[in-house]
Amino acid sequence: MPKPFILINLKTYSEGAGQRSHAIAEAAEIVAHESGAAIGIAPAYMNIHPLSVHYSLPVYAQHVDGSAPGAHTGAVTAEALRMAGAQGSLVNHSERRLTLADIEASVAALRDVRLAAVVCTNNEQTTAAAAALGPAYVAIEPPELIGSGVSVSKANPDIIRRSVDAARKVNPDVQILTGAGIQSGECVKIAMDLGTSGVLLASSVVKAKAPIAVLRDLVSLL
């Protein structure tokens, strides 16, 4: 099986804030080294720079604005993310939905500074629309399963299958992730067998007593 990309979204969980983001990054780096899997982390903005300095794993933002550098008080630009050491950003996460025009602007802003866009979607129609914008990744996540502890891989493999087909029809080059309730090596294997390149996840790792044990399980069936 090809090696998956596992992207850990720390969201705004207290368990993933401040120094705890470093502990998760360190665990992810160890497991990436042991397994050969690519493991990335998407911390809060203020941790992007420290994590990118201290660890070798790819660091992503959880959101980016499509604004150009200039007079846009409070905006987070793609250029600022690149300067902070990020390799890409989530766009349109279920907890940070955007208009289609905003998604297009964010993907274009990331592309301009050579950062990877991971556009999150909720069904095969939005996956096809997102894939047409030419991001590096689309990430299909049924909102009702997010944070539920019920894995999309097991509860709704059909939505993954349909989204992979829909994305491939409009953009054969886009890589596809899936997420919501991902928690084990079996979830990752099912997602990969259905044609994805990996998974986007949060609570199973971030809220675990021992994140390294969950990470080792996630890569256990490679």
For binding to ligand G3P (CB under 6 A), which residues are involved?
9, 93-94, 141, 146-147, 179-182, 200-204
Catalytic residue among 29, 93, 104, 124: 93
Q: How far is the CB of 181 from ligand G3P (least distance, A)?
A: 5
Distance of CA 206 to the CA centre of its chain: 14
Tell me if residue 79 is catalytic.
no
Q: Measured between alpha carbons, how far is 132 from 31 in angstroms, rounded to an integer? A: 33
DSSP alpha helix (H) spans, the chain = 19-35, 45-54, 78-84, 100-112, 124-132, 152-155, 157-170, 185-193, 203-206, 211-218
**Amino acid letter, 171:** N
Contact between residue 78 and residue 113 where contact means Cβ atoms under 8 Å apart: yes
Catalytic residue among 29, 104, 124, 141: 141
Q: Which is nearer to ligand G3P, 68 or 212 (CB)?
A: 212
Smallest distance from the beta carbon of 180 to ligand G3P, in angstroms?
A: 5
Count Cβ atoms within 10 A of the Cβ of residue 2 and give its class: 0-12 exposed, 13-18 middle, 19 or more buried: exposed
Least gap, CB of 42 to ligand G3P (angstroms) = 8
- Tokens 């999150």, located at residue: 120
Q: What token pair was written down for 11? A: 């969201």
Name the residue with the smallest CB distance to ligand G3P.
Answer: 203
Q: How far is the CB of 210 from ligand G3P (least distance, A)?
A: 17
Please say if 186 is a catalytic residue: no
Closer to ligand G3P at the Cβ: 67 or 76?
A: 76
Which residues are catalytically annotated? 93, 141
